[in-house]
Amino acid sequence: MDAEALAGVVDRVINRYRRDPTCMLQILREIQEACDWVPPEAIDRMQAMLGVPRTKIEGVAGFYSFIYTEPRGKYRVLFSDNITDRMQGNRALMERLCSNLWVERGKVSEDGLVSVGKTACTGLCDQGPGMLVNNYAIAGLSLERIDEIAELIRNKVPLTDWPPAYFKIEDNIRRADVLLNADFKPGEALLAARARAPSDGLNASNTRSWREGLPSGIGGPGATLDEIKRSGLRGRGGAGFTTGLKWEACRNAQLKAGHQRIVVCNADEGEPGTFKDRVLLSKCPDLVFEGMTVAAYAIGATRGFVYLRGEYRYLLDHLNAVLANRRRENLLGKDICGLPGADFDIEIHVGAGAYVCGEESALIESLEGKRGTPRNRPPFPVTNGYLDQPTIVNNVETFAAAALIALKGGEWYAGIGTKQSAGTKILSVSGDCARPGIYEYPFGVSVRQVLEDCGATDTQAVQVSGPSGICVAENEFDRVIGFEDLPTAGAFTIFNKSRDMFEVARNYVHFFQHESCGFCTPCRVGTSLLKNLMDKLHYGSGSPYDFAEIEKLNQLLQAMSHCGLGHTACNPVLDTIAKFRPAYDKRMMQQDFTPAFNLDRELSAARQMTGRDDAAAHLATEHGGQS
Amino acid sequence: MSHTFTLDGKVVPFVDGQTIIQAASAAGVFIPHLCYHPEFKPHGSCKLCTVKVNGRHTASCTMRAAPGMVVESETEEINAERRALTQMLFVEGNHFCPSCEKSGNCQLQATAYHLGMMSAHYDHFFPNRAVDASHPDFLLDFNRCILCSLCVRASRDVDGKNVFALSGRGIKTHLIVNAKSGQLADTDFTLDDKAAQVCPVGVILKKRQGFAVPIGERKYDKAPISETAESTEGR
Ligand code: SF4
Ligand code: FES
């Protein structure tokens, strides 16, 4: 691309984002979509037009895996590398593509045409192995398809001309309940919320600081908030904070001059093994947007965001079309449903490959166009969130449930599920089973029941809620999904008895190491140390000493880390050590401390350069050799 | 309004808005720290200043003091954790104290001594980090950077220049300078910048000043960091 064309692209993108530096990540992402990377000249121009220092732009660009400040090829292929993709054989596929295209993994081909690498879970576990090509998802890869893709790339066929079937992502809804079955007409929940009159008993209707925008004396917002509280709805993102309390705290937060309240939908579904938000957004986006609008009505917010993970980029155009339609129908915009002062609109920001942005304060930083580093708390987002304004951040599923509650009432919802866990939960079932996909259950369903329904046999373990969740062994299959027992953001990854639980944990540890934001010492360095220890065991140099080290690292990460990523990074290891000790014992080949350094393995670079792998090119060592 | 909390049993007064570390240092109590500097907004990243507040770990440089808090700092457990963090910082970069111009004036080294660190314990990462000697008056030796972001804050908040920033993510986080070439010589960095004076380790070094004060006669050679904390902060 010549200088003039580049300048044209940059100007167009920046102007579309109103020259607003808080849209930096979106600007970088769109420049990259047009240029295949973010060239230094583009940064020059951003610097001039946005009036921000180069260090700031490069600092942001460098944080996100999907933003490239060096050329990565016209075709950028990233294989999803979740444990389920591995179980489905992604490694062989990646090697096949690399050898087809004559490119080394992680590098750009010599002609600058293509790069092949790997990325964290892309949310296609029920139809893997998956990949992203220039951030567009392709599922159900096979050797044949890989060969076809290599051919398309070699022939420089534009992505838009690739067979549409490649890009077909299935919903795979296997069990639907109140949410996925909802026969919902856009606008219904808003009309119901508006019609609600304040009730006695609960007192969310307190209007102490809530008098912006809407005509005074309106009871609907308070009454709607009461219904949310009555429903007992808790956050579906994993932490399970009571939604009504969060909304109320935001509603009661003082507004500074010029500030407004903000509603954020967290669609940064990055936990490996989770994909239910993808399905909710593709199957019932109206329900989600309506939930956000109900929230805005209840708390008095006027601006909304959806933070969509970069891996779901392909949903963007459809979602924007749904939003445009809602504007046309007066379900968004000014005077919603004809109610003067009921103003609210939603914009979608797309992430760029950073799991940590699922943490709400990191997500807000990212929305502000910064590096996705979790904030120091307090203060919390409900009082000081997006650009220091009162903000609620809720999961996609939480908003969908909130829309139904606004429509059907809190009592109705509280009657579903268990006492501590009201309502239903959508599970993303994947791994070793006959029918992977989406299962919606009332809370309280047992692990055993889910396994039965999805046709899992010979099950060894289930990872509930992904790597940061809990690994459940066979003798625990009667445990139930719910905040009182097994809280979950939705992942339900099944491993049969042929799987090596040590390798499962090692995959998860690699994931955390890659996704650590690098802000705090314990997590930045600790996750790397943990990865090195797991690799050491893998390579056969492990001894009981290393076990003790893992244990110590865990305590340190739990105690000292800045955010939940570091707190939970050791979970998969500790759980599997406790429950699948033999998998580790097999790896513990040494009685006494043995250095991780292995000379023969270090020579592999030399072997590769000389193209030799014969016996004489190896050192004879007791352990090692395998890599 | 003045209130108090207890720090290792000692009653410490504070005023509204003060953090634990501010109140402690005003009361003459040293809490180890690397990314905290009284002149700048706290960052809360190194975690060396971690204490236990009512039994829970928290960074004392970002946590506001509150009346009646029970804070523990100088305990065997917490110091062991701080020692481990210091070891992590040592293995993450390339720190060769005997040949470092900052030896004796280095807060990382002094903190390690203070915590009784006897070895690096973990395997070294030996990262490959290039030195930037482009600037006529300064050398940047990134091998020693502990990512405390003090230079970032000083340049941004005091000098109004944004010469430094953090880029990358995770273990690949690194310091960058404000120039398309990536070279300090192409920035507006000068000798009288505040950012030139805040690096707690030996990254940002003035040229032609090597070993002006002999090793053995430097700041932390004379007194341990716990006794020189105020002067550390005044640098
Ligand atoms: S150069 Fe020095 S002051 Fe700047 S981040 Fe690194 S260690 Fe901190
Ligand atoms: S001094 Fe508090 S975190 Fe670094």
pLDDT digits (tens, 9 = 90+) for A222-240: 899 999 999 999 999 888 9
pLDDT digits (tens, 9 = 90+) for B155-184: 999 999 999 999 999 999 999 999 999 999
What are the backbone dihedrals phi and psi of residue A297, each rounded to the nearest 5 degrees, phi first?
A: -65, -45
Read off the pLDDT band of B33 (50, 70, 90).
very high
Atom of ligand 2 nearest to the CA of B46: 4
Read off the pLDDT band of B230 (50, 70, 90).
low
Q: What is the dotted CATH code of the domain comprising A75-170? A: 3.40.30.10
Q: Residue A210 pLDDT > 60, yes or no?
A: no
Which residues does chain A have within 8 Å of residue B162's beta carbon, measured at their own beta carbons?
53, 55-56
Domain locations along chain B: 2-74, 84-211
Nearest CA to ligand 1 atom 4: B151
pLDDT digits (tens, 9 = 90+) for A128-168: 899 999 999 999 999 999 999 999 999 999 999 999 999 99
Q: Residue A217 pLDDT > 70, yes or no?
A: no
Read off the pLDDT band of A33 (50, 70, 90).
very high
Residues 6+ apart with CB under 8 A from B206: B137, B138, B139, B191, B196
Q: Give the other-Cβ count within 10 Å of B138's Cβ.
A: 20
Give residues (CB < 6 A) around ligand 1.
Answer: B 145-151, 175, 198-201, 203-204
> Tokens at residue B167, please?
């880029």
Q: What is the dotted CATH code of the domain comprising B84-211? A: 3.30.70.20
CA nearest A596 in B: which residue?
Answer: B123
Helix (H, G, I), strand (E, B) or coil at A28: helix
> Tokens at residue B223, please?
């007194």
Q: What is the dotted CATH code of the domain comprising B2-74? A: 3.10.20.740
pLDDT for the residue numbered A206: 40
Read off the pLDDT band of A473 (50, 70, 90).
very high
Q: Residue B1 pLDDT > 90, yes or no?
A: no
In sequence order, what are the beta bridge partners of B132? B140
What are the backbone dihedrals phi and psi of residue A474, each rounded to the nearest 5 degrees, phi first?
A: -50, -40
Which residues does chain B have within 8 Å of residue A64's beta carbon, measured at their own beta carbons?
169
Residue range A457-483: average pLDDT?
96
pLDDT for the residue numbered A547: 87
> Tokens at residue A351, please?
């992430």
The three state secondary structure string of chain B is: CEEEEEECCEEEEEECCCEHHHHHHHCCCCCCCCCCCCCCCCCCCCCCCEEEECCEEEECCCCECCCCCEEECCCHHHHHHHHHHHHHHHHHCCCCHHHCCCCCCCHHHHHHHHCCCCCCCCCCCCCCCCEECCCCCEEEEHHHCCCCCHHHHHHHHHCCCCCEEEECCHHHCEEEECCCCCCHHHCCCCCCCHHHCCCCCCCEEECCCCCCCCCCCCHHHHCCHHHCHHHHHHC
What separation in Å is there between the alpha carbon of A543 and the centre of ligand 1? 37
In sequence order, what are the beta bridge partners of A264? A305, A393
pLDDT for the residue numbered A305: 98
Q: Pick A58's closest partner by Cβ from B89, B147, B165.
A: B165
Q: Give the other-Cβ count within 10 Å of A534's Cβ.
A: 26
**For an interface test with B, which of A524, A541, A555 has the most B Cβ atoms less than 10 Å from its Cβ?**
A524
Q: Give the other-Cβ count within 10 Å of B55's Cβ.
A: 7
> Tokens at residue B24, please?
């402690």
pLDDT digits (tens, 9 = 90+) for A171-206: 999 999 999 999 899 999 999 998 887 654 444 444
* Residue pair B204/B195 in contact by the 8 Å Cβ criterion: yes
> Tokens at residue A330, please?
């007066």
CATH C-level class of A502-585: mainly alpha
Residue range A207-214: average pLDDT?
47
* Residue pair A392/A293 in contact by the 8 Å Cβ criterion: no
Helix (H, G, I), strand (E, B) or coil at A596: coil
Residue range A56-75: average pLDDT?
96
What are the backbone dihedrals phi and psi of residue B33, each rounded to the nearest 5 degrees, phi first?
A: -160, 155
User: Kind and range of the H or E element at A530?
Assistant: helix A521-538
CA nearest A555 in B: which residue?
Answer: B81
Check CB contact under 8 Å for A560 and B163: no
pTM for the model stands at 0.94
Which residues does chain A have within 8 Å of residue B123's beta carbon, measured at their own beta carbons?
529, 532, 595-597
Mean pLDDT (chain A, rounded): 93
Sign for the pseudo-dihedral over CA of A293, A297, A298, A301: positive
* Residue pair A32/A73 in contact by the 8 Å Cβ criterion: no
What separation in Å is there between the alpha carbon of B148 and the centre of ligand 1? 5
Q: Residue B71 pLDDT > 60, yes or no?
A: yes
Read off the pLDDT band of A212 (50, 70, 90).
low
CATH C-level class of A424-498: alpha beta
Scanning A124-242, the segments in alpha helix (DSSP H) are 143-154, 188-195, 220-231
Inter-axis angle of helices A220-231 and A243-252, to 10 degrees? 150
Give residues (CB < 6 A) around ligand 2.
Answer: B 33-36, 44-49, 59, 61
Q: How far apart, in whole angstroms, are the C-alpha atoms of residue A165 and residue A168?
A: 5
Read off the pLDDT band of A621 (50, 70, 90).
low
Q: How far apart, in whole angstroms, are the C-alpha atoms of residue A242 and residue B67?
A: 28
Cα distances from A286 to residues A300, A398, A593, B90, in angstroms, run 20, 14, 58, 52
Query: In residues, how long is chain A?
Result: 627
Q: Residue A624 pLDDT > 60, yes or no?
A: no
Check CB contact under 8 Å for A518 and B168: yes
Q: How far apart, in whole angstroms, are the C-alpha atoms of residue A591 and residue A594?
A: 9
**For an interface test with A, which of B169, B183, B201 has the most A Cβ atoms less than 10 Å from its Cβ?**
B169
* Residue pair A573/A511 in contact by the 8 Å Cβ criterion: no
pLDDT for the residue numbered A503: 95
Which residues does chain B have within 8 Å of residue A552's beta carbon, measured at their own beta carbons?
84
pLDDT for the residue numbered B235: 35
Min Cα–Cα distance to chain A from B199, Å: 17
- Could you say which of 3.40.50.10800, 3.40.50.11540, 3.40.640.10, 3.30.420.40 is the CATH number of the domain covering A188-414? 3.40.50.11540
Which residues does chain A have within 8 Å of residue B169's beta carbon, measured at their own beta carbons?
62-65, 354, 371, 516-518
Residue range A262-269: average pLDDT?
97
Cis-peptide into A340, omega within 30 deg: no
Residue range A536-558: average pLDDT?
91
In sequence order, what are the beta bridge partners of A472? A462
**Does the ipTM surpass 0.90?**
yes
pLDDT for the residue numbered B233: 46
